Amino acid sequence: IRSSVSSLDASLRNVESVLVELEKSQALIQTRIDSCKEVAERLQMSIKKHRRLLHPIRRLSTEILVQIFAFVVEERLWKPAQDAIHPIHHHVDHGITPLANIALTCRQWSAIVLNTPHLWSNVSIDL
């Protein structure tokens, strides 16, 4: 009986030591998984950043953007006349002009808007 008990005791210690090694391996693997996840997240952020940089709107020249912005300003100037002709359409003014919204879009657009005086040559004031 003593030999069976000591044999079982040795087997138990052996199984426990294998279990400890497996837990260490599991911890190491989990650390590697976490590290891989962090790298994957950084790569995803980098991909998103590069996609934004490659967006077609960024390829438009300053001159074309100025033309587009001028159309927005012109449409804004004609809006009160359109509302007088077609009073069904209710316009809610939130206090910020479309040109200011454009300037708040990004640094490039802000610089274009602020450095293009003819965009600011007509100012509409509601009384």
For the entire predicted model, the pTM comes to 0.50
Asked if 112 contacts 62 with a C-beta cutoff of 8 angstroms, the reply is yes
Q: Which helix (H) or strand (E) holds 55?
A: none
Q: How confident is the prediction along the chain (127 residues), in pLDDT tens digits per residue?
A: 778 888 888 999 999 999 999 999 999 999 999 999 999 999 999 999 999 888 888 889 999 999 999 998 887 655 555 555 555 555 555 567 888 899 999 999 999 999 999 988 876 666 6
Q: Cα 48 to chain center, whole Å?
A: 7
Domain-wise residue ranges, the chain:
1-54, 56-120
Strands (E), the chain: none
Q: Is the dihedral of CA 45, 46, 49, 55 positive or negative?
A: negative
With a CB cutoff of 8 Å and minimum separation 6, the contacts of 62 are: 112
**Of the candidates 90, 116, 93, 112, the residue with the CA atom closest to the CA atom of residue 103:** 112
